[in-house]
Chains A and B, each alone.
Chain A
Amino acid sequence: MLGSFAVLRKQSLLGDAISHAALPGIAIAFLITGAKDTNTLLLGALVSGLIGTFWIRSIVTKTHLKSDTALGLILSVFFGFGMLLLTFIQKQPNANQAGLDKYLFGQAATLVESDVWMMAIVTGICLIVMLTFWKEFKILLFDADYTKTLGFNTKTIDILITSFIVLAIVLGLQTVGVVLMSAMLLAPAAAARQWTNSLSKMVLLAAIFGAFSGVFGTAVSASQNNLSTGPVIVIVAGIFVLFSFVFSPKRGLLFKQIRFVKNRRDLELHKTLAFMYHIAETHDNISHPHTIKILNNFQGYTKGTLQKLVDRGFVELDGNMWHLTEEGFKTASNLYNQQNASDE
């Protein structure tokens, strides 16, 4: 759901960066408490995720480094630091340390009931906040300057959205792991984007796609041996995206291609018609017959286009001869005028 906002805000890779940046938080939380309590670890992840995000922000706004550099930098540096801490922890004589690296790849199967409840609660809070601030989110998303002139505090709204994205990511980490979290955030939103232009529909669709790939992915992974859940979910989500890319009615590649081909055919048709018009023009009587042969070697001409012209009643065939009808002549001359008009 929140992914929709990330996608539309061109912050897609933020998810990736945050999920990596959360690692040192987990490690530090563990170092401080010495226990493997899910909540404290998540809190640590949340804090370090937020620090990472705001550092990225400040790099982008204060220096001339671009956002991609900032993202990559924070991502790798935080992750490296997290690794350093993890290896450091592993050397510590603490029996609890095992399993911390589970957070790296995630394992939905290790979730216990309390985790699920926790997720449900957080999702609920996200939902409530989103509905409350729906108007503000939407307006900020599409026209930040306008929002500012209306007197909304853009910074607060911005921080609110970002915090919730971070929260969602940190929660998701347990399930699908660091690497795949970004796909979980992006894929449903990217797929949903193809089907609709309305934000509310997009968010709804993204939620449905996300839930579907979650359920489906888990089912597949449970049915097979040796398949970890995270990657399967991601691949299912990926298939959704691919499907959306190809088959969505307005933006999809398939329909785009069909439209493209159709346009080209239309153009060829027009070209043939225009050519015929020029020939017919030289004669007093527009229904003066000509042989089909003279149309050969002309780009737009095929038997198909000729047949189409006949079907539309622009041309009449008589054996090997053709001649323009009244209607065809009119259309063709209009065609020409229209082109001139649009040129001007």
Chain B
Amino acid sequence: MNNAQLEIQLIASLVAIACAIPGTFLVLRKMAMISDAISHSILPGIVIGFFISHDLNSPLLILFAALTGIITVVIVEYIQKTGLVKEDTAIGLVFPILFSIGVILIAKNANDVHIDTDAVLLGELAFAPFDRLIVGGTDIGPKSLWIIGTILLVTVTLLITFFKELKLSTFDKGLAASLGFSPAIIHYGLMSVSSVTTVGAFDAVGAILVVALMIAPAAAAYLLTTDLKKMLALAIGFGVLSAVLGYWVAHLLDASIAGSITTVLGLVFLMVYLFAPSKGIIAVMYREKQQRTEVSLLTFLLHLKNHDDLSERHVKHLNEHINWQKVRSKTVLDLAQKNNMIVIKDNIVSLTEKGDAFTSKAIDYIITNEDAQIEDMKDDFFLFRG
């Protein structure tokens, strides 16, 4: 691993951290698509900044880009407030239009200049180490490393200072407002940070990767924990992991670094999505199946209680009458027997005392249908799961 490689990975990791922090809050506040909108609509800002400064390295570019990012948010909110269209439509309308303006501005006026729409959208991490920051004749590292480092520092400082406020306003806007924190200030603060991060990161890694780095780690972390601090930590961890892994994948395939980091992020999310202990797809499916069996069991017990005829209680009857398949009836019968709810004698099923009591209780619950009792019932169910 040579120096340049190390620097690339360092930049990617820093970007990952800087994105994961606002990303977590965006995901929690259901505003994830805003980051996509910002990443596209900063284009006109960059172009205008370039026209004014005539220098691609000018900090003015970043300033204008961040400004357009915030303007996007404001416009989206304004349109939304008029109630003419829904929020998602507002986002979907604003950013393509701003992006179009950017593209047209480039096409009309800056054709000979090196601002490439491709480069804006995709970025090229591999070139980042060649763009050095020279201070007083000495080389102190790649420029994007400094930019993103500064942004990260600011973000972290803001996060620590306003952690309480952010947390409160994210989860309970009403309470935050009544306690005297202005949700609007926090909202726009968060938006500004997202905007600045997007801009700072985009020239290193490209707009799409910024979006991926903001949303994917936070989404994966959200599936794993319900604790905000843990979620932040996990999101950062996922981000850095994907950044480093992604770099090596790109190295191996000789392909775009941004693309491969995104792919790794996608894979990480897919893994979490499938295998997360309580919220992953597999866990959810398992739970659903269990619940289905439980409901079946209850139906079956109720059926037994309602019918005294021997013919209605024959084992075969289950298949015909309640329309269950063999496997399912067997599962239900086994479960009931295991819990001592029923006894089977000569293929005739009858309720035991325990089963009878349980069924009466279940009917009670169903009739009264009160939330508190349902909670109790869940505990009961839990008892006979094993």
Q: A residues touching B (Cβ–Cβ < 8 Å)?
A: 7, 10-13, 15-16, 20, 58-59, 62-66, 68-73, 75-88, 91, 101, 104-105, 179-180, 182-183, 185-187, 190, 193-194, 224, 226-228, 230-232, 234-235, 238, 241, 245, 251, 253, 256
Contacts and interface: CB of A to CB of B under 8 A. Distances in A.
A181 B39 CA distance: 16
Contacts of A72: 32-33, 35-36, 211, 214-215
Nearest to A10: B86
A179 B99 contact: yes
A84 B262 contact: yes
A84 B263 contact: yes
Given A58-B281, A227-B107, A234-B100, A73 B216 contact: yes
Nearest to B30: A66
Contacts of A104: 118, 121
Contact of B265 (A71, A80, A85, A180): A80
Contacts of A224: 108
Contacts of A68: 30-33, 88
Interface in B315-329: none
Contacts of B82: 245, 253, 256
B253 interface: yes
Contacts of B260: 80, 84
Interface string B106-124: 0110010000011001100
A234 B263 contact: no
Given A76-B208, A253-B84, 7 more contacts: A12-B88, A66-B27, A80-B209, A101-B118, A190-B89, A190-B93, A253-B82
B266 A80 contact: yes
B253 A10 contact: no
B220 to A, nearest CB: 9
A185 B96 CA distance: 11
Contacts of A71: 32-33
23 contacts: A10-B86, A12-B91, A63-B280, A63-B284, A66-B30, A69-B27, A69-B30, A77-B212, A77-B262, A77-B266, A80-B208, A80-B258, A80-B265, A81-B263, A82-B259, A84-B262, A86-B259, A91-B255, A104-B118, A180-B100, A182-B92, A190-B89, A194-B84
Contacts of A256: 82
Nearest to A244: B84
Contacts of B258: 80, 83
Contact of B281 (A7, A62, A251): A62
A83 B279 contact: no
Given A62-B284, A68-B30, A80-B265, A75 B89 contact: no
B101 interface: yes
Contacts of B259: 80-87
Instruction: From A58, A65, A84, A105, name the one whose CB has the most chain B CB atoms within 10 angstroms.
Output: A84
Interface of B: 27, 30-33, 35-36, 40, 79, 82, 84-86, 88-89, 91-93, 96-97, 99-101, 103-104, 107-108, 111, 117-118, 121-122, 208-209, 211-212, 214-216, 218-219, 222-223, 250, 253-256, 258-263, 265-266, 269, 273, 279-281, 284-285
Contacts of B100: 180, 183, 230-232, 234-235, 238
A94 B358 CA distance: 71
A70 B256 CA distance: 24
B40 A88 contact: no
Determine which residue in A87, A180, A230, A235 has the highest number of CB atoms from chain B within 10 A of its CB, and name it.
A87
A251 B284 CA distance: 43
A221 to B, nearest CB: 9
Nearest to B213: A76
B261 A80 contact: yes
B93 A183 contact: yes
Nearest to B108: A226
A83 B117 contact: no
B253 A186 contact: no
Contacts of B269: 73, 77
Closest CB pairs A-B (n = 10): A80-B262, A84-B259, A183-B96, A77-B266, A83-B259, A231-B100, A76-B212, A87-B256, A238-B97, A72-B32
A71 B84 CA distance: 23
Nearest to A16: B92
Contacts of B214: 72
Nearest to B266: A77
A180 B33 contact: no
A245 B84 contact: yes
A154 B223 CA distance: 29
A12 B92 contact: yes
Nearest to A178: B121
Given A68-B30, A68-B33, A82-B259, A190 B85 contact: yes
B369 to A, nearest CB: 20
Contacts of B281: 58, 62-63
B379 to A, nearest CB: 23
A123 B27 CA distance: 37
A235 B108 CA distance: 15
B255 A87 contact: yes
Contacts of A20: 208
